């Protein structure tokens, strides 16, 4: 095989790769924005964070409430209302924990994943790896 034939085969192989594997861009987990009202913390950008992570707001809210050990609900404007006072550092830590457990692929570290089989399997669209995820 000569060099030209090799380069043609290599170009064909790169053309067959999915775009996700070929593109290497840095994914950043958004920071929490919120406000304190009396004894409640309201995460005002809760729905945009869930959309950025490409996850259902109900699942994300259930995790946040359980992880923070507090009662709360998703408000009519898509805010997460927590029935306690929290500092932003603790909230961001919880969001990052969700990202690690339910978004990032444990094999290739890609954030391009989806839930399968009613949310019990995390499948990576980049490398095809599947993993069981914990129940909430």
- The CATH number of the domain holding residue 64 is 3.30.30.170
pLDDT in tens, 48-71: 999 999 999 999 999 999 999 999
Domain region containing 51? 29-103
The pLDDT value recorded for residue 14 is 81
Residue 111 CA to residue 26 CA, distance in Å, equals 10
Percentage with pLDDT > 90 across the chain:
66
**Phi, psi (deg, nearest 5) at residue 122:** -105, 120
Residue 21 CA to residue 38 CA, distance in Å, equals 47
Q: Is the pTM of this model over 0.85?
A: no
Residue 101 CA to residue 59 CA, distance in Å, equals 12
Residue 40 CA to residue 127 CA, distance in Å, equals 41
pLDDT exceeds 50 at position 86 = yes
Q: Is residue 35 part of a domain?
A: yes
Q: Is residue 8 part of a domain?
A: no
pLDDT exceeds 90 at position 22 = no
């Amino acid at each position: 095989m000569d060099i030209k034939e090799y380069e043609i085969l290599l170009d064909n192989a790169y053309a067959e790769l999915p775009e996700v594997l070929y593109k290497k861009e840095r994914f950043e987990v958004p920071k929490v924005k919120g406000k304190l009202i009396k004894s409640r913390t309201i995460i005002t950008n809760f729905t945009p964070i869930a959309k950025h992570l490409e996850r259902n707001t109900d699942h994300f809210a259930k995790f946040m409430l359980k992880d923070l050990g507090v009662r709360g609900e998703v408000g009519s404007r898509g805010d997460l209302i927590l029935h306690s006072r929290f500092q932003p550092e603790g909230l961001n830590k919880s969001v990052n924990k969700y990202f690690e457990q339910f978004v990032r692929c444990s094999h290739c570290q890609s954030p391009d994943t989806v839930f399968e089989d009613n949310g019990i399997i995390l499948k990576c669209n980049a490398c095809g790896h599947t993993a069981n995820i914990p129940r909430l």
